[in-house]
Structure 1
């Protein structure tokens, strides 16, 4: 049955069956009314509700109420008796069960097919902490948390305007997860907002445990590049909303999704807007670092494979070959894999073991491999620089892209040299020009070229001009 029945015991039994007789489902029966002859039941899940709220603002007011719980009495209970800011009625079991699993309390009455739903949720959450993946020398330090309401609270403390719109949506067939679409009315790009809303409305999944599924739905296409930006920082999210972008926050994830996103966004950081110096150099260094992290191993292999004979023996011995067991290509491949294993390990093992792992890695990859003539010192330096520069953008949605492109260009360089790298880079640019983030070209404002948008791309323009400027995004046409 779908609708609440008038028989209280049948309703209670049906709800217990819907929850598979779980032991943490609490059902408390009450006798109410003037003569205590009327029966009601309060139903909630223990552990996710605030028992003091239930006792003081639900049970006591009902027990002290003199109304008979008919339709008129229920309306009075909602409007006058129950002392809660969030109270509503429900007529279907689906409404009751959805409310209970979200920490709310349901109240059912004998002889009535209408229930009352009261918000009594009390979820455990961690305190506000620094955003670990996006630390900055200046600016706010707090990051987003796993609780959606807390994140909205933080965001509204940064954006104090009634134009800030939050659209809540529940996703999931088995377990419903709440997501919030956030934008600034009057500033948001209408075309972008419509595409986001349309793609989310077509989402049908059993459950959501991570925000990546939302990212894939919004992207709308498969790509090695991330067509959305994620951030742990409320100030970054607020800044993006002021630029006409759309933010999406998923319950249970301490990240916000920002769309549309273009390639240039990966080289911008929050502290760019807090420092006077570095307006022109900071982003250039990050661009240069990205170039090195992708191309440096390929360039090293190309020089050894195709141009070694053009250098003196002294240079060849110092930079390319001095009787090592492995050729340059396999040196690069093995070192990349070993360092990738080392980085992955340091993120997953206990912190107390990181020093030991670092010492072992230093001895094995560095001293022993070079001394045993397995790897050339120049090759080790090349990979060291490659990984150091990759950390400039590793937390800005380019980590997976950098790793993939590094291997592809390394393979191309081993067989085709600089000619292959030039052709491969050309194909990569053509591929990137066809990518779109919710209709916005991924290489915008460089391709297609928009002069007025360059003031916050390769360099950081004047802050007053940036704040007062209106951003616009080219669409599919």
Structure 2
């Protein structure tokens, strides 16, 4: 009993101690810097744990009388060469080599006459100072002043602009986003040179302080959707944001659904096209994937290349995607239902062949399909996670070898191998990876319905699926728009795509304020 009481008291004291530490740390963050340079530098060193990458360079300003100053930055995040050159610092002694300027205060001398940095701000509290230093900026402190100068010197190594690996095209731009926020915003502004392209940036994450930016075109976007995006981002209270997937889960309308309600892409041209339609882009520092809202079901079935090919080619490919969607969703379930409950629907010759091949198979059709589907999903994941040089070869060879061996061993029939292969190939045609995963998940549910009730079970599953899709919203926009609610004018760039000269208006469910996209100017035939 005494030990229990002693342990309980220890926990209380430890909790109180940790609370006091957190409160003191928070007080230090909001505390205003004093005019004593050494005291401020000591506080900064203590706050950052005297980290080895923290650089504090002391120097002397040739004022009358001379005063001390210091440059603070983090090695690896900041490029201070321009700062040091603009201050004309002697690298050996650390002094500023300028004649004495008696009439100008040292802080004004540095801020107004010496620094060549494009962005200079002032700070007087430690919270802002820590954020600037940890973001790669350089802070200059002068003895006797309770204000510091923050100069933009962010220059860290990044991956650069390369071709996106997850959304490739035959015809179209080859540039993709990187992990640097400013690089990504510049790629978007290169494509939309309009002053109405506005951007707002905020920091999300108590520990990571990740920069998150929203971009939209003022006048095209629905202002209520912009306010809703701001509100949802402001409600996020989490320790860290490491990827845009964090934001996607925290701001989506419906959490309990297999379908994605926020579109993501690593292509600047896709983001630019979405902005021109009146959508909003959410960019997160540290990831090449940009979120686009609002998003509807048809948005996930369209690829970037659809706008670069001729309208007839794009329409044919889109129709092919929807056919592949139905095959990926219904093929295994239909095979199970027909072979188990509705053999009369199969032609006699084909039924005899299927029965002959399944004669020695000990499992029902559902177990047979389930085993093959799970095996293929395992091979798919193995091909993704393995090294790129051997991953694709292992997945292909593994599928061929396992499929052939399973047929020869009498575990599955040849028809089931064909069904699973066609289903897998159809899944790969879906442009959005998130939507492909959703179809893969729902396929197993429909297989269970088919094994229980046959085609009636599949019909019940489809009805429930459509009702669920009709109930979804993406930032207030119906998920099945423009099918439900139906809009005839928005069908021009939906399942099929009309020529660009016929796309006169933006979708009404995205941009209700400014729908006019271009003037009615169809191409004229040359005179004979």
User: What is the TM-score with the length of structure 1 in the denominator?
Assistant: 0.94
For residues 224 and 234 of structure 1, what CA distance do their matches in structure 2 show?
26
Q: Which string of whole-angstrom CA distances, capped at 9 and with x for unpartnered residues, describes residues 30-72 of structure 1?
A: 11124673111111111111142232134549552745799x5
* Residues 211, 105 of structure 1: alpha-carbon distance in 2 compared, 3 angstrom cutoff: same
Aligned residues of 2:379 and 2:399 also touching (Cα < 8 A)? no
Take 2:374 and 2:391, find their aligned partners in 1: how far apart are those partners?
18
1:416 equivalent in structure 2: 453
Tell me the CA shift for residue 311 of structure 1: 5.2
Q: Which residue of 2 aligns with 1:165?
A: 198
Residue 44 of structure 2 corresponds to residue 44 of structure 1: no
Given the alignment of the two structures, is residue 469 of structure 1 paired with residue 505 of structure 2, yes or no?
yes
Alignment-derived partner of residue 134 in structure 1: 167
**Cα pair 2:300 2:431 within 8 Å, conserved:** no
Tell me the SS of whatever aligns to 2:486.
coil
Counterpart check, 1:17 vs 2:51: no
**Quick one: structure 1 residues 256 and 311, their matched pair in 2 at CA, closer, same or farther if it must change by over 3 Å?**
closer
Q: How does 1:274-353 map to 2 (within 5 A)?
A: 274-276=308-310, 277-308=312-343, 314-319=349-354, 321-353=358-390
Equivalent pair of 1:62/1:81 in contact (CA under 8 Å): no
Partner Cα separation in structure 2 for residue 210 and residue 18 of structure 1: 27
The answer to whether 1:146 aligns with 2:179 is yes
Do the aligned partners of 1:38 and 1:68 also contact (CA within 8 Å) in 2?
no
Indicate if the aligned counterparts of 2:86 and 2:116 stay in contact, CA closer than 8 A: yes
Does the alignment pair 1:202 with 2:235?
A: yes
Distance in 2 of aligned mates of 1:97 and 1:311: 72
CA distance, structure 1, for counterparts of residue 181 and residue 103 of structure 2: 35
Change (3 A) 1:62 1:227: farther
SS at match of 1:287: helix
**Farther-moved stretch of structure 1 (30-39 vs 77-86):** 30-39
1:327 and 1:379 map into 2 onto residues whose CA distance is 11
CA–CA distance in structure 1, aligned partners of residues 140 and 346 of structure 2: 85
Distance across 2 between alignment mates of 1:23 and 1:272: 51
Q: CA deviation at 1:395?
A: 3.1
Alignment partner of 1:55: what SS?
helix
Matched, 1:186 2:223: no
Q: 1:470 to 1:66 in 2, by over 3 A?
A: farther
Aligned partner of 1:220 in structure 2 is 253
CA distance in 2, matches of 1:312, 1:393: 31
Contact kept, 8 Å, 1:84 with 1:118, in 2: the verdict is: yes
Look up the match of 2:407: 370
Number of aligned residue pairs: 474
Find the counterpart in structure 1 of residue 522 from structure 2.
none
Structure 2 residues without counterparts, runs of 5 or longer = 1-27, 90-94, 512-528
Q: How far apart in 2 are the matches of 1:460 and 1:416?
A: 38
Structure 1 gap segments, 5+ residues each: none
Q: Show the counterpart of 1:252.
A: 286
Are the equivalent residues in 1 in contact too, given 2:107–2:142 (CA < 8 A)? no
State how far apart, in whole Å, the 2-side matches of 1:93 and 1:271 are: 49
The alpha carbon displacement at 1:175 in A equals 1.5
SS of 1:445's partner is coil
Quote how far apart the aligned CAs of 1:394 are: 5.4
Q: In 1, are the aligned partners of 2:278 and 2:510 still within 8 Å (CA)? A: no
- Candidates 438, 443, 447, aligned match of 1:406: 443
In structure 2, the partner of 1:425 is 462
Q: Which has the larger radius of gyration?
A: 2
Residues 356 and 153 (structure 1), Cα distance of their counterparts in 2 relative to 1, 3 Å cut: closer
C-alpha contact 2:262 2:292 (8 A) present in aligned 1: yes
Q: Distance in 2 between matches of 1:268 and 1:189?
A: 22
Is the contact between residue 274 and residue 292 of structure 2 (CA under 8 Å) also seen in structure 1?
A: yes
Matched position secondary structure for 2:363: coil
Partners of 1:474 and 1:132 lie apart in 2 by 29
Contact 1:189 1:473 in 2 (8 A): no
Partner of 2:60: 31
- The TM-score normalised by the length of structure 2 is 0.85
Change (3 A) 1:411 1:31: same
Return the match for 1:239 from 273, 276, 288.
273
Query: How do 1:66-77 residues align onto structure 2 when only pairs under 5 Å count?
Result: 66-67=100-101, 72-77=105-110
